[in-house]
């Protein structure tokens, strides 16, 4: 089971948190700076803890140097991901 998720990340924020949906992308603030992969690593940890999956099951596969990213999730179905992200609303 592999699910791909579009993400808009805002690095250097005051706290790590999921903001909600921005179109079809999930907007996430991370406190880490976009240097040496720190923001990507923080993003992967936030997603893993939110979805209650191991961090190794979350991987940035596109947009490593861009605020717009594609994250690959393994171990969950699309329905399970949608259910766990439901409190943030639905993609537009």
Q: What is the pLDDT of residues 7-43, one digit of tens each?
A: 999 999 999 999 999 999 999 999 999 999 999 999 9
Task: Please provide the CATH number assigned to the domain covering 2-88.
Answer: 3.30.1200.10
Predicted structure pTM score: 0.92
> What tokens were used for 78?
């699309």
**Residue 73 burial (10 A CB sphere; 0-12, 13-18, 19+):** buried
DSSP-derived 3-state class of residue 60:
strand
Could you tell me what percent of the chain has a pLDDT over 70? 98
- Cβ within 8 Å of residue 67, ≥6 positions away: 8, 9, 10, 11
**Is-contact 20 91, C-beta < 8 A?**
no
Mean predicted confidence (pLDDT) in 64-92: 91
Q: pLDDT class for 89, splitting at 50, 70, 90? A: confident
Res 92 pLDDT > 70: no
**Residue extents of the structural domains in the chain:** 2-88
DSSP-derived 3-state class of residue 30:
coil
């Amino acid at each position: 089971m592999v699910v791909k998720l579009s993400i808009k990340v805002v690095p250097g924020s005051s706290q790590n948190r999921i903001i909600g949906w921005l179109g079809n992308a999930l907007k996430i603030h991370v406190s880490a700076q976009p240097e040496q992969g720190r923001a990507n690593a923080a993003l992967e940890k936030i997603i893993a803890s939110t979805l209650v999956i191991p961090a190794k099951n979350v991987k940035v596969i596109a947009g490593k140097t861009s605020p717009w990213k594609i994250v690959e999730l393994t171990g969950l179905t699309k329905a399970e991901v949608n259910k766990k992200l439901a409190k943030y609303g639905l993609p537009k």
